[in-house]
Structure 1
Amino acid sequence: MTQQKENVVREVLRKMAGKNANLNPGKLQNRIMRLTGLDTVSIKVAMQALLDKKEIEAVGWDSTNCMPLGKMSLSLKPLPVEPHVHSWQQAVSGSSLDTKAKNALSNKRIAGKMKGASDDFMAELIRSLEVLIQNQDDIPEGSPLFEASARFLCGSSKMLDDLGPTLLKTIGLDVDRFSRSPRFVIVAGPPSPEAVVLIENPHSFERAIQSDSSCAYVCTYGFGLTMSHDGYGTLLLDNITIHLRHLKTLVRCGNPPKIGNLLKHPKLFFWGDLDLSGMRIYDSLHLKYPRIRLSALYGPMLKSLKEGKSHPYISAAGKGKPGQPVQHKKLGKLKDSVAQRLASICAQRAVDQEVVCEGFQELSKKSLSEDTIEKFFHETQE
């Protein structure tokens, strides 16, 4: 039991120190008690044992409480290697892969994914990776990554994707020859649209195409049962900026140009929620497509914000998701000055784009003027 408590204290010290080799003594005993649930006597015994083994050292030491009087340095015994980690690293070491690939695959993060697998499975998986790398040129370019994974890696469609593109490139796999999961955007509009509006949420996309046929509208729908409301904008951003090459376009109505041509339109606008997430999406789009502007459809939303028809960032409004408070702290990291200005305006309260139900024929063709933004900003500061 004493050894077990010593191990518990050792690991909590390791956790508290993180990547540092030192710990400050301030309220150290209380912190250990809170994190371990151990009593003071057990902590004293464990700390004395670690001191005797020279796993911890300090210039001054309180022998009564077994606590350091000054900064404590750590030389803790390394964590034991878990059996599955050892087995995986052995399988990698015995392969014909080059040194760079072996080092990448031996990483503990990758090895940790093999927990629960038998030694035979690990060996088979390594052999499968070798075969895939050696025969990748025989796979037709554009083949789905998930199909290649299922075909070569023990029937698992997800394994290559889980390893990630950086590691796959490191071990010698040309990930650019494979297509990712099917990605779709929905487009609507005439052959020669007067403007192109990228829309964050599908409900507003439907409202827009029912109200106006002179512009082209682009939106990403949430295919799959797990897509949440706040995921539409991020999906749109990823599709338009990262996955455009493999993007599949579905025409909702009309006969609009191809998505690549739509993104070259001189009047390219973004319209999403008037919230911090929406401004982050716009800022990222602006980095990729410098001529994109915020749509004048934001005008009615600014009016709604001014009139008090807005909501705070709470979970009941779909805005209390993890990361939202962090976005408040990162307002200064937005690159575009317009995005920064709008983000400061909606930093405390937000308006969702579904509040706009009319005015599409006029507003879809125009950008939100900087004069309108500045006027609203100064009014809110008064």
Structure 2
Amino acid sequence: MTQKKESIVREALRKMAGKNAKLNPGKLQSRIMRTTGLDTVSIKIGMQALLDKKEIEAVEWDSMNCMPLGQMSLNLKPLPVEPHVHSWQQAVSISSLAPKAKKALSHKRVAGKMKGASDGFMVELIRSIEVLIQGQDDIPEGSPLFEASARFLCGSSKMLDDFGPTLLKTIGLDVERFSRSPRYVIVAGPPSPEAVVLIENPHSFERAIQSDASCAYVCTYGFGLTMSHDGYGTLLLENITTHLPHLKTLVRRGNPPKIRTLLEHQKLFFWGDLDLSGMRIYDSLHLQYPHIRLSALYGPMLKSLKEGGSHPYIPAAGKGKPGQPVQHKKLGELKDSVAQRVANLCAQRAVDQEIVLEGFKELSMHQLSEAMIEEFFNE
């Protein structure tokens, strides 16, 4: 019975300490009680057992309750290694992989993902990794990572991607040799557009191309991400910055120039949701494309914000990231003063771009200016 209480108290202390090796004594007994449901007598028995084994130490103790009177040091017995973790680490240790690769693959984050696999499969997988590393020079450059994974790693297309680029580099795989999942942008417009608008959300992209044929519009659909409202802008940013060299362009309407040509257009604008996330996306785009500006299509959204057609940052509105307004305070000044002004205006409430249903032909041609903010927000 004492051993059970000892074990329960040990795990409670481990949970409370996290990665720390010390615990403060403040209300420790009450905290253990809330965590375990044990009464004070049971907690005392468990603490005394740990003290006797020198798993916990402190300079002074309340002997009546067996509680530390100062900071308590922890030297808790380590958790038992799960069988699948032990089997995986054993398979790694007997392989011919380099010491650095063995250390990386033995990490519990990797080993933990082998739960449910047989010992034989683990040995086979390690051998497959060895074959892949040794024969990677024979794989044509630009080969899809998912294909290489399926071909070499026991028919699993996702395993290499799940390992992640850092681990793959550490074990000796040249990740630059492989292409990732295909990336796409959708474009629409004439051969010589009067302006180019990068649009965060696909619904607004569809509305824009139905209303105007003089400008070019660029958007990212949900390839590689879930089809969530929050992910489109981030994917657009990644595609036209990090992944531009390998980007595939799909023409939705018209005969627009190539994406690189569109991004060099002197009238390059960004239009997304009127929220802090949208301003962060724009700020990152501005670093890569200094000539980009916020689109005048933000104007009607500012007017809606002023008139009460806005929502707070809550999960029900698809903007439930805790502390988003707080993060804005850490953002610092944006590179673009107009964007900074807009970020200040939408710090507490937001407006999604789908609220704009008309005016595309005129507004797509212009950038959002301080004067327009005054016109739309203060009229």
Q: Same fold (TM over 0.5)?
A: yes
Q: Taking structure 1 as reference, are residues 150 and 83 closer, same or farther at Cα in structure 2, changes over 3 Å only?
A: same
| 1:163 Cα deviation after fit | 0.1
Residue 6 of structure 2: aligned partner: 6
Answering whether residue 318 of structure 2 is matched by residue 330 of structure 1, we say no
How many residues align? The count is: 376
Cα distance, 1:352 vs structure 2: 0.7
* Residue matched to 1:132: 132
Q: TM-score, normalised by structure 1?
A: 0.93
**Cα distance change, pair 68–218 in 1 and its aligned pair in 2 (3 A):** same
User: Structure 2 vs 1, CA of residues 49 and 145 (structure 1 numbering), >3 Å: closer, same or farther?
Assistant: same
Provide the residue aligned with 2:257 in structure 1: 257
Flag the 1:289–1:36 CA change in 2: closer, same or farther, 3 A.
farther
Q: 1:31: how far off?
A: 0.9
Distance (whole Å) between structure 1 residues aligned to residue 332 and residue 256 of structure 2:
32
Match of 1:307 in 2: 307
Aligned twin of 1:71: 71
Change (3 A) 1:96 1:370: farther
Q: Give 3-state SS (helix, strand or coil) of 2:114's partner.
A: coil
* 2:252 aligned counterpart, secondary structure: strand
Mapped to 2, the partners of 1:229 and 1:35 lie a distance apart of 38
Q: Aligned partners of 2:291, 2:223: CA distance in 1, in Å?
A: 29
Q: Relative to 1, partners in 2 of residues 1:374 and 1:5: Cα closer, same or farther, differing over 3 Å?
A: farther
CA 1:32–1:374 in 2, change beyond 3 Å: closer, same or farther?
farther
CA contact (8 A) 1:180 1:246 kept: no
Task: Say whether the 8 Å CA contact 2:299–2:376 is kept in structure 1.
Answer: no
Post-superposition offset of 1:241:
2.1
Stretch deviating more after TM superposition (131-140 or 119-128):
131-140
Contact 2:187 2:217 in 1 (8 A): yes
Sort the Cα spacing of 1:182 and 1:249 in 2 relative to 1 into closer, same or farther, 3 A.
Answer: same
Could you give the per-residue CA deviations for residues 202-258 of structure 1, whole angstroms, max 9, x where no partner exists?
111011111111111111112489412222222212222222222211100011111
In 2: Cα distance, 1:365 partner to 1:334 partner? 29
Matched, 1:55 2:55: yes
Structure 2 counterpart SS, 1:319: coil
Specify the alignment match of 1:104 in structure 2: 104
State the 1:152 CA deviation.
0.5
- What do the CA deviations read for 1:162-221 (whole angstroms, capped 9, x no partner)? 000111111111111211112211100111212211101111101111111111111111
CA distance in 2, matches of 1:155, 1:376: 58
Contact 2:192–2:257 (CA under 8 A) maintained in structure 1: yes
Deviations 1:110-143 (A, max 9, x none): 1111111111111111111111111112222221
Letter in 2 for 1:369: S
Provide the residue aligned with 1:216 in structure 2: 216
Letter aligned with residue 333 of structure 1: L
Distance 1:41 1:241 in 2: 62
Deviation per residue, 1:86-128 (Å, 9 max, x gap): 2111111111111111111111111111111111111111111
Unmatched 5+ stretches in structure 1:
none
Deviations 1:261-286 (A, max 9, x none): 22222222110000122122212222
Partner of 1:93: 93
Structure 1 residues 125 and 335: CA distance shift in structure 2, 3 A:
farther
Deviation, structure 1 residue 371: 4.4
Give the 5 Å matches for 1:139-178: 139-178=139-178
Deviates more, 1:3-12 or 1:84-93: 3-12
Q: Which stretch shifts more, 327-336 or 72-81?
A: 327-336
The answer (yes or no) to whether the contact 1:280–1:334 under 8 Å persists in 2 is: no
Tell me: CA distance 1:16–1:375, structure 2 relative to 1, closer, same or farther (3 Å): farther
Whole-Å separation in 2 of the counterparts to 1:92 and 1:239: 37
- Which residue of structure 2 lines up, in the alignment, with residue 203 of structure 1? 203
- With 328-337 and 285-294 compared, the bigger mean Cα shift is at 328-337
1:283·1:334 contact (CA, 8 Å) conserved in 2? no
**TM-score, normalising length: structure 2:** 0.94
Shift of 1:157: 0.7
CA distance in 2, matches of 1:372, 1:95: 66
Corresponding residue number in structure 1 for 2:189? 189
Structure 2 residue ranges without an equivalent (≥5): none
CA separation of 1:98/1:374 partners in 2, compared to 1, >3 Å: closer, same or farther?
farther
Q: Match of 1:330, SS?
A: helix
Cα deviation, residue 61, structure 1: 0.5
Partner SS state of residue 316, structure 1? helix
- Name the counterpart of 2:317: 317
Which whole-Å deviations, capped at 9, do the CAs of 1:323-356 have from their partners, x for residues lacking one? x223222112256244443222112111110111
Counterpart residue number, 1:228 = 228
